[in-house]
Copies of this chain bind each other. A is one copy, B any other.
Amino acid sequence: MKVLWLYAHPDPRSLNGSLRDAGLRKLDELGHDYRVSDLYAMGWKATVDSTDYGDHSAGERLVVASASQAAYHSGTLSPDVAAEQEKLRWADTVVVQFPLWWYGMPAILKGWFDRVFVKGFAYGVTDPAHPGRTLRYGQGPLSGKRVLTVLTSGSPEAPLGPRGINGELHHVLFPLLHGTFWYTGMSVLPPLAVYAADRLGEQGYEHYAALLRRRLESIEDIEPLPYRQQNSGDYDDNLVLRPDLAPGRSGLGVHYTGDHPVGDGGHPDDESQRLRAAAG
């Protein structure tokens, strides 16, 4: 396996840093290849601007999608962006690890997607068999790659559960899991969340480190989230779910096929609870 480990925390002495190191040791043990993009250590530039696109002339209005696509195809993307794309091409598996800040990624990591996932590379590619049909949501340039999200949150588990005040974790992460990963064709594994991260003792840390190691051991076999494919026939020509599917319902859960627990209101990530129960 070839793993790209994308990591965004300002301090290597953090909980995130320890978990990353534990994860990389496990990958070594399993004999997998890996490369790490440690965004803070790299001094990653978070902000999209015209300097990303070498062939963009200063006098010209900047339309990000088309400028990025043109620079991608002409090989004039900023070298730091091109280097990240090369790592992604190489990888079959991606781990994306970050602390949840304001219910989203730290800006430096959001900026990685803003700058690296350009048109032509990550999206905006049409189906050769059906010209005019864009490959998107389950199909696309990054198809075949698996992605595991690992995050820490100050929130305990219940407030990020199905009826918790912070919103169900999978729904809070929908812009990343569905709107970014799945959009580009990647297979999205259930995220691994470290809850109550600010109050984790030594035992809590060991619990989550064990959970992470188990995920990495089985990463090739974990069932991805069953999001619906755009071009499967589930959506009409306006990209609205057909009325006979999840009839009368709405909300983000309708975009899972069948009776997946998130779609129906249950909580899919009960591995953590099971392990905790087993540990007494």
List the interface of chain A (C-beta within 8 A of B).
10-11, 13-14, 40, 46-50, 61-65, 99, 101-108, 110-111, 113-114, 117, 137, 154, 156, 158-159, 161-168, 171-172, 174-176, 178-180, 198, 228, 230, 235, 238-241, 246, 248-255, 265-266
Contact = CB atoms under 8 A, between A and B. Distances in A.
Contact of A61 (B14, B65, B162): B14
A60 to B, nearest CB: 9
Number of copies: 2
A198 B251 contact: no
A11 B107 contact: no
3 closest cross-chain pairs (CB), A and B: A107-B111, A250-B265, A103-B179
Contact of A165 (B11, B158, B235): B235
B104 A110 contact: yes
Contacts of A46: 46-47, 107-108, 111
Given A47-B46, A107-B111, A240-B161, A172 B175 contact: yes
A128 to B, nearest CB: 22
Contacts of A63: 14, 198
Tell me which of A61, A63, A107, A108 has the highest count of chain B C-beta atoms within 10 A of its own C-beta.
A107
B265 A251 contact: yes
Contacts of A166: 179, 239
Contacts of A248: 265
A165 B104 contact: no
Contacts of A117: 102
Contacts of A255: 165, 167
Contacts of A167: 174-175, 178-179, 252, 255
A65 to B, nearest CB: 7
Given A108-B107, A167-B178, A240-B164, A49 B102 contact: no
B61 A159 contact: no
B265 A103 contact: no
Given A102-B114, A163-B241, 4 more contacts: A11-B50, A48-B108, A103-B174, A111-B111
Contact of A172 (B10, B108, B179): B179
11 contacts: A10-B50, A10-B62, A47-B108, A48-B101, A102-B179, A104-B110, A107-B114, A164-B240, A165-B241, A167-B252, A251-B252
B107 A104 contact: no
Given A46-B47, A110-B110, A111-B107, A171 B174 contact: yes
A152 B186 CA distance: 26
A128 B227 CA distance: 45
